[in-house]
Chains A and B, each alone.
Chain A
Amino acid sequence: MVGRPVTSRDLVLGRLRAALAADDAAAAPVDVPRDYRQAAAVDLDQLAQRLTDYRAHVHRVAEAAVADTIADLLPDGGTVVVPPGLPRAWLPPTVTALPDDGLDHARIGAADAVVTAAAVAIAQTGTVVLDASPDQGRRVLSLLPDRHVCVVRADQVVATVPEALARLTPHRPLTWISGPSATSDIELIRVEGVHGPRQLHVILLP
């Protein structure tokens, strides 16, 4: 090492290696027991109940009724941010679509709602996960509008967190959403609606 400048990388790794080198036990492999629950039967009622428990609104309709459901949620002429791959049949004629062709933040934030699909939903925790696929769009689309309408197909629902991770692709940007934006920072009382969408509607298809 003499004569060579020691980088912080070398320094930190050297300290960590020295910390472990003094200890024979540190070299012994650690066995990770994974006898916790991996999978369970999917229960759509449980998903609906747990989403509702955290103040999301759940609508269980057939795919043909998605547009009517959304029409009921939004004012006539309301603006809706639309990811590039979203099925257009989901949008009612009563709203004004804002297709994401590089919308700026101001326009996204001023929209009445965003409609997305989902990648996975987890029944036991009441969670929907977005992975930025074309029918969900870039992350900011589901962040700035005040309402998020998320359409989930029954075959996207799993029971447990381990099952969800197994279905997801780590290299995609992932957003796990369990109810609308919330805080418990004031006296630990849960208040819905801080910086993200203040309303979350999940349309659950059979």
Chain B
Amino acid sequence: MTRRTFLGMPATTPPVTAPAGVGHLRGEESFPTAARRSLADPQLRRNLRHATTTIRAKSAGVIAEQSDWEQLRTAGAAIKADTLRRLPDLLEQLEEKVTAAGGVVHWAADAVEANRIVTDLVRATGADRVIKVKSMATQEIGLNEALEAAGITAVETDLAELIVQFGDDRPSHILVPAIHRNRAEIREIFLREMPGVDPALTDDPAALAAAARRFLRETFLSTPVAVSGANFAVVETGTLAVVESEGNGRMCLTVPETLITVMGVEKLVPTWRDLEVFLQLLPRASTGERMNPYTSMWTGVTPGDGPQTFHLVLLDNGRSAVLADEVGRQALRCIRCSACLNVCPVYERAGGHAYGSVYPGPIGAVLSPQLTGIEDNASLPYASTLCGACYDACPVKINIPELLVHLRAEAVESRPRPTAESIAMAAAAYTMDRPRLYAAGQRAARLSRLVGRRGRGLPPPLNGWTASRDLPDPPAQTFREWWADR
């Protein structure tokens, strides 16, 4: 990583990544292994292709209406870069504003601590059940499992999250966690798992949504504690914002007596005015809408309106390690819109589960390895063709291809022993520095025309390269020979 030490920097503060054994940032197997399985599932590939094609078209339509889209992207990237540069001071200011408005701010160094803070806060209310509005941060830290271990039931209220929870499944998309399920599969899951469900339930999406409405209404009205994430926190006012569609967010943010919001430290925007940029970028990049149906904003506690106790948990869990990498830190600009997933040819075929982490797709391939340390997600930076569609789609201009290459270099460096790749790269570098050796090597390669048949691939240990690529036939004449002959 590009880190320099400087005078006065304590030698005891190396970047601290997210701990293992808690949360959902690490898969159980490497990306190629997991992807091979999902590629063999034709239903999954059909569901994904249909969904990503639909949302790409919707998003392109509303972005075309916004003639200043590029200016908004530039402004969004600049606001986030400015925020990251001043992050520690801004966090202190946010704490002051939230506290002054009647909220309580907690700091969590990692997932273990965040889970403990939330569990203790819920216990203190005496509740044995919480309602949750979809939040990437709480999925990242494995909050539901931690609450369950403490005897507290966490009810996911987002329709897709409910489908995932009922199906004992894992989310596969940031915005639409059940994108891998079609309506027939969702109907089956509801019929099997939803208490009190009408046995005549059809697979009409409106009927499925209505079933969720009936099932959750009583839960919303009878649960005294809600847990949420946040899309934005405005430093100068202490205001938090949650962007959603179904109204489950409004329920969680309005009805209970106690609200606990878990938020990554990077979610800040410095000024109220900055929201004008992100409230235009996010819905168009995310759901392909001019504006999402509901956005809630609250500042601390409002007497007589909404939760009368508000806790804000600020989460590091590896974000400080990402910030320490001068190239890698741009991943912290991410506003979790999932546009990069929807345009990615690798995501569309492999699906979200193959990435292991709760953050799938191109942004996951650059964020997860940085949060955990490259050793634990070493295959993810390779889960890309470097086609660049993600960079073009990103509303805050995260240069994901640049990050992928940066992390690949890091993955190679981090390997304990020399690998075929590092030996090959070292040999190539040595040979290319010596023209006569290089020419000899090219002539030698030509000999393989006599022994190799096209499509057979390289022998071990180089067969990893040709497992998914055709080895081109070496030409009869090298460029240098042709040049010398003309």
Report the minimal beta-carbon distance from B168 to chain A, rounded to whole angstroms.
18
CB < 8 Å: which of B106, B183, B298 contacts A186?
Answer: B183
CB < 8 Å: which of A18, A126, A139, A143 contacts B291?
Answer: A126
- When the two chains form their complex, are residues A177 and B294 in contact, meaning their CB atoms are under 8 A apart? yes
Report the minimal beta-carbon distance from A8 to chain B, rounded to whole angstroms.
4
- When the two chains form their complex, are residues B306 and A33 in contact, meaning their CB atoms are under 8 A apart? no
Proximity bits, A128-169, B CB within 8 Å = 1, else 0: 000010000011100100000000000000000110011000
Q: Determine the chain A residues whose CB is within 8 A of the CB of B306 once the complex forms.
A: 138-140, 173
Which B residues between 225 and 247 are near A, CB-CB below 8 angstroms?
234, 237, 239, 245-247
- When the two chains form their complex, are residues B71 and A35 in contact, meaning their CB atoms are under 8 A apart? yes
State whether the Cβ of B433 lies closer than 8 Å to any Cβ in chain A: no
Q: Determine the chain B residues whose CB is within 8 A of the CB of A180 once the complex forms.
A: 293
Most buried by A among B10, B50, B239, B292: B292
- When the two chains form their complex, are residues A187 and B51 in contact, meaning their CB atoms are under 8 A apart? yes
- When the two chains form their complex, are residues B237 and A30 in contact, meaning their CB atoms are under 8 A apart? no
Report the minimal beta-carbon distance from B355 to chain A, rounded to whole angstroms.
20
State whether the Cβ of B484 lies closer than 8 Å to any Cβ in chain A: no
Report the minimal beta-carbon distance from B21 to chain A, rounded to whole angstroms.
19
CB < 8 Å: which of B67, B101, B209, B302 contacts A191?
Answer: B209
- When the two chains form their complex, are residues B107 and A109 in contact, meaning their CB atoms are under 8 A apart? no
Q: How far is the CA of A172 from the CA of B299 in the complex (A)?
A: 7
Q: Which of A21-29, A60-68, A69-77, A85-93 contacts B (4 or more CB under 8 A)?
A: A21-29
Q: Determine the chain A residues whose CB is within 8 A of the CB of B287 once the complex forms.
A: 184
CB < 8 Å: which of B75, B106, B237 contacts A171?
Answer: B237
- When the two chains form their complex, are residues A33 and B6 in contact, meaning their CB atoms are under 8 A apart? no
- When the two chains form their complex, are residues A185 and B78 in contact, meaning their CB atoms are under 8 A apart? no
- When the two chains form their complex, are residues B5 and A22 in contact, meaning their CB atoms are under 8 A apart? yes
Q: Determine the chain A residues whose CB is within 8 A of the CB of B213 once the complex forms.
A: 193-195
**Are A15 and B107 CB-contacts (below 8 A) given A8-B113, A173-B302, A186-B208?**
no
Select from chain B the residue with minimum beta-carbon distance to A127: B291
State whether the Cβ of B143 lies closer than 8 Å to any Cβ in chain A: no
State whether the Cβ of A31 lies closer than 8 Å to any Cβ in chain B: yes
Report the minimal beta-carbon distance from B82 to chain A, rounded to whole angstroms.
4
State whether the Cβ of A44 lies closer than 8 Å to any Cβ in chain B: no
Q: Determine the chain A residues whose CB is within 8 A of the CB of B205 once the complex forms.
A: 186-187, 189, 191
- When the two chains form their complex, are residues A30 and B91 in contact, meaning their CB atoms are under 8 A apart? no
State whether the Cβ of A98 lies closer than 8 Å to any Cβ in chain B: no
Which B residues between 401 and 456 are near A, CB-CB below 8 angstroms?
none
Q: How far is the CA of A189 from the CA of B3 in the complex (A)?
A: 46
- When the two chains form their complex, are residues A143 and B251 in contact, meaning their CB atoms are under 8 A apart? yes
Q: How far is the CA of A197 from the CA of B159 in the complex (A)?
A: 16
Select from chain B the residue with minimum beta-carbon distance to A13: B88
Q: Determine the chain A residues whose CB is within 8 A of the CB of B85 once the complex forms.
A: 20, 26-30
- When the two chains form their complex, are residues A165 and B275 in contact, meaning their CB atoms are under 8 A apart? yes
**Are A20 and B323 CB-contacts (below 8 A) given A12-B316, A13-B92?**
yes
State whether the Cβ of A42 lies closer than 8 Å to any Cβ in chain B: no
Q: Determine the chain A residues whose CB is within 8 A of the CB of B237 once the complex forms.
A: 170-171
Proximity bits, B239-265, A CB within 8 Å = 1, else 0: 100000111101101110000000001
Q: Determine the chain A residues whose CB is within 8 A of the CB of B141 once the complex forms.
A: none
- When the two chains form their complex, are residues B51 and A185 in contact, meaning their CB atoms are under 8 A apart? no
State whether the Cβ of A32 lies closer than 8 Å to any Cβ in chain B: yes
Which B residues between 189 and 224 are near A, CB-CB below 8 angstroms?
205-206, 208-210, 212-213, 216-217, 220-221
- When the two chains form their complex, are residues A161 and B276 in contact, meaning their CB atoms are under 8 A apart? yes
- When the two chains form their complex, are residues B275 and A174 in contact, meaning their CB atoms are under 8 A apart? no
Most buried by A among B84, B108, B113, B323: B323
Q: How far is the CA of A139 from the CA of B304 in the complex (A)?
A: 10
- When the two chains form their complex, are residues A179 and B275 in contact, meaning their CB atoms are under 8 A apart? no
- When the two chains form their complex, are residues A143 and B109 in contact, meaning their CB atoms are under 8 A apart? no
State whether the Cβ of A41 lies closer than 8 Å to any Cβ in chain B: no
- When the two chains form their complex, are residues B6 and A21 in contact, meaning their CB atoms are under 8 A apart? yes
Q: Which of B174-182, B390-398, B460-468 contacts A (4 or more CB under 8 A)?
A: B174-182
CB < 8 Å: which of B101, B159, B217 contacts A183?
Answer: B159
- When the two chains form their complex, are residues A175 and B75 in contact, meaning their CB atoms are under 8 A apart? no
- When the two chains form their complex, are residues A138 and B107 in contact, meaning their CB atoms are under 8 A apart? no
State whether the Cβ of B68 lies closer than 8 Å to any Cβ in chain A: yes
Most buried by A among B51, B213, B287: B213
Select from chain A the residue with minimum beta-carbon distance to B85: A26
Q: How far is the CA of A153 from the CA of B160 in the complex (A)?
A: 37
CB < 8 Å: which of A175, A179, A187 contacts B250?
Answer: A175
Proximity bits, B45-88, A CB within 8 Å = 1, else 0: 00100110011001000000001100110110011011011011
Q: How far is the CA of A162 from the CA of B250 in the complex (A)?
A: 23
- When the two chains form their complex, are residues A195 and B293 in contact, meaning their CB atoms are under 8 A apart? no
Q: How far is the CA of A195 from the CA of B131 in the complex (A)?
A: 14
Most buried by B among A17, A22, A29, A140: A22
Q: Determine the chain B residues whose CB is within 8 A of the CB of A127 once the complex forms.
A: 291
CB < 8 Å: which of A16, A183, A188 contacts B323?
Answer: A16
Q: Determine the chain A residues whose CB is within 8 A of the CB of B210 once the complex forms.
A: 193
State whether the Cβ of B138 lies closer than 8 Å to any Cβ in chain A: no
State whether the Cβ of B4 lies closer than 8 Å to any Cβ in chain A: yes
State whether the Cβ of A37 lies closer than 8 Å to any Cβ in chain B: yes
**Are A182 and B245 CB-contacts (below 8 A) given A32-B78, A173-B302, A187-B54?**
yes
- When the two chains form their complex, are residues B305 and A132 in contact, meaning their CB atoms are under 8 A apart? yes
Q: Which 4 pairs of residues, A with B, have the shortest CB-CB distance?
A: A196-B247, A195-B247, A15-B320, A19-B324
Q: Which B residues lie at the A interface, using CB under 8 A?
A: 3-6, 9-10, 13, 15-16, 47, 50-51, 54-55, 58, 67-68, 71-72, 74-75, 78-79, 81-82, 84-85, 87-88, 91-92, 101, 106-109, 113, 157-160, 163, 176, 178-179, 182-183, 186, 205-206, 208-210, 212-213, 216-217, 220-221, 234, 237, 239, 245-248, 250-251, 253-255, 265, 272-273, 275-277, 279-280, 287, 289-299, 302, 304-306, 314, 316, 320-321, 323-324, 326, 329
Q: A170-B297, A188-B54, A194-B247 are in contact. List 7 more A-B contacts (CB 8 A).
A: A20-B85, A125-B290, A165-B276, A173-B299, A184-B287, A186-B183, A196-B293
A-B contact pairs, 22 of them (CB 8 A): A8-B109, A9-B107, A13-B88, A15-B109, A16-B87, A18-B10, A19-B329, A20-B323, A22-B3, A22-B324, A26-B85, A35-B75, A36-B68, A106-B221, A161-B279, A176-B295, A178-B291, A184-B176, A184-B287, A187-B50, A188-B58, A189-B205
